[in-house]
Every structure is written in C-alpha cells, then in structure tokens.
Amino acid sequence: MFTSAEIKEFLRKVPNELHFATKIILIMGLSGACRSNKLHDMKVNDIRDLNTAFLVTVPVTKTKTARTFTVTKELYEVVEKNLNLRPANVPNDFFVNLQKGNLPAKEL
C-alpha cells in the first residue's frame, strides 16, 4: 500500500518515458475510485475538458448509477498530455494499447 506522499512523489519524479501509462492509470483509478474493469471500459467521450479540470463520467457502476469525478491541478496536465498524444485513428477507448515506437518519447 502506498501513502499519498509516495504517490505524489511517483507522479512528480518518475520520467514519463518510463511510466506514462502507469501514471494515467494511477490518476484515473485513484481520482475516481475506479475498479480495473471501469478503467478498461472508460471512453474518451466520458471525459469532458473544463480547461482547468476534467469532469469524468463513469456511466455504469456496480450500483447501476452513473457517477462523476474530477481530475484537477497538476493531474489535469498529465491527463491532458495523454489526450493530446493520442493518434487520430485510434478507437474511442480512453486506454489504448500502443506498442513501442508509436509515441515519440521526447513528446512524453
């Protein structure tokens, strides 16, 4: 189990070139208290950019009631970078399986 200080340190210090996807999963999972299946089901259309925060809708939950959460501050910037790096021809899934070489490391 990680402390909130350890999580903040990981997000701040670990280079994006090594663990960019892990950072995005961590941000979305913890910010929204999302189970792995909810992360898998997450769509780009479920994320609304408010220019300083993302409003994320989890449409179907265990309780069958939609819920929302926000991603703000420096976490917003990391998620925004992820969305900006997405190739135009990928599906609506928020998390995509990009193989080595598809995203230039210098842009991360």
Q: Which two tokens stand for residue 54?
A: 């993302």
Asked if pLDDT for residue 105 goes beyond 50, the answer is no
Residues 26-85 pLDDT 10s: 999 999 998 888 888 899 999 999 999 999 999 877 788 889 999 999 899 989 988 888
Q: Could you tell me the pLDDT band of residue 100, with boundaries at 50, 70 and 90?
A: low
The pTM of the full predicted model, rounded to 2 decimals, is 0.79
Residue 96: per-residue pLDDT? 74
Sorted by where each begins, the domain ranges of the chain are 4-87
Task: Please give the Cα distance from 35 to 29 (Å, whole number).
Answer: 7
Residues linked to residue 10 through DSSP beta bridges, in sequence order: none
Task: Please give the Cα distance from 89 to 32 (Å, whole number).
Answer: 27
Task: Please give the Cα distance from 37 to 58 (Å, whole number).
Answer: 11
CA 8 remoteness from chain centre? 15
Q: Which two tokens stand for residue 27?
A: 């941000």
